[in-house]
Amino acid sequence: MNTALVTGGAGFIGSHVVDALLMRGMNVVVMDDLSTGSKENILNKDVVFVEGDIRDGQKVEHVFRVNRPAVVFHLAAQISVSQSVKDPSYDADVNILGTLNLLRSAVANDTGKFIFSSSGGVMYGEDPGEYPTSEKEPEVPFSPYGVAKLSAERYLYSFNKEHGLKYTALRYANVYGPRQNPYGEAGVVAIFSEKMLKKEGITINGDGKYIRDYVYVEDVANANMLAMDNGENGIYNIGTGIGTDVNELFEKLKKINVYQQDANYGPPRPGDLRKSILNSDKAKKGLNWRPQYTLEEGLIQTHDYFVSKLGF
């Protein structure tokens, strides 16, 4: 039975990848420093859990040498765009140097494939030539977080050419769903869902007309599964191609959660793109991937999760 290593496997997206791998009968090893993830997200006792930081090269090498993973799903990351602006050195330490530790150990231990979680939301800048935006558009990230994600993609290409390491990079749109942290900056669906269930007030940043492509987490996990056998040495957008602004999202969630209050409006968040929608035609052809959940279906699933979590 093949072994998969999932970095960040105790986190939001990573834990769904772990579940999908277990459903396919694979041995799973999770490496996570628990800075944002939680052991509660790892539901299966058969998962081998290693608490560790990907910046620790010796620890990374030990995990590879002991477990000899056939495939690596690299989801561990510094995920805050604003934090990357405040401390770009830390962001680069985790998202570039940490990735390099994994790539070196993957080569040294004959890993068959490296699947990297990148970001489509920050990759194409403020004014791409088309919406939805395809991979043909130039990469122009301006946050240190986006620059680090692009740098990691370039290292994947380098390690393939120099060492023959096969890879697939997946550029996600705005991922949402169960287990998302409602206290971070990235999870607007989780933030709104929890506040609505608690009947708390909600503040929308700016005018609420910031448009995003919301993709359900199980669809993202499925893209990772398909990347094991498809999309060799390719980069793929993973999104729905449908844009929804924050005001629309608020109204959809308001209806699902039977929430009575109106939103408050605060100052815009520095660095936020006005619009990001991904064209995933390349993933449909190269990975045979298509989103299976509509936004409404995914929001209902997310609502049900938070109802259970909060004990309503």
For residue 64, name the pLDDT band (cuts at 50, 70, 90).
very high
With 0-12 / 13-18 / 19 or more C-beta atoms within 10 angstroms meaning exposed / middle / buried, residue 216 is buried
Per-residue pLDDT reduced to its tens digit, 182-240: 876 668 999 999 999 999 999 999 999 999 999 999 999 999 999 999 999 999 999 99
Whole-angstrom CA distances from 309 to 9, 198, 250 are 20, 12, 21
For residue 310, name the pLDDT band (cuts at 50, 70, 90).
confident
The catalytic residues are 145
Secondary structure (DSSP) of 290-310: -----HHHHHHHHHHHHHHHH
Per-residue pLDDT reduced to its tens digit, 36-46: 999 999 989 89
Phi-psi region of 240 (alpha: psi -120 to 50; beta: other; left: phi over 0): alpha
pLDDT of residue 1: 59
Domains of the chain and any CATH numbers = 3-175+216-238+279-286 (3.40.50.720), 177-211+243-277+294-310 (3.90.25.10)
Residue 149 has pLDDT above 80, yes or no: yes
pLDDT of residue 273: 85
Per-residue pLDDT reduced to its tens digit, 95-145: 999 999 999 999 999 999 999 999 999 999 988 999 999 999 999 999 999
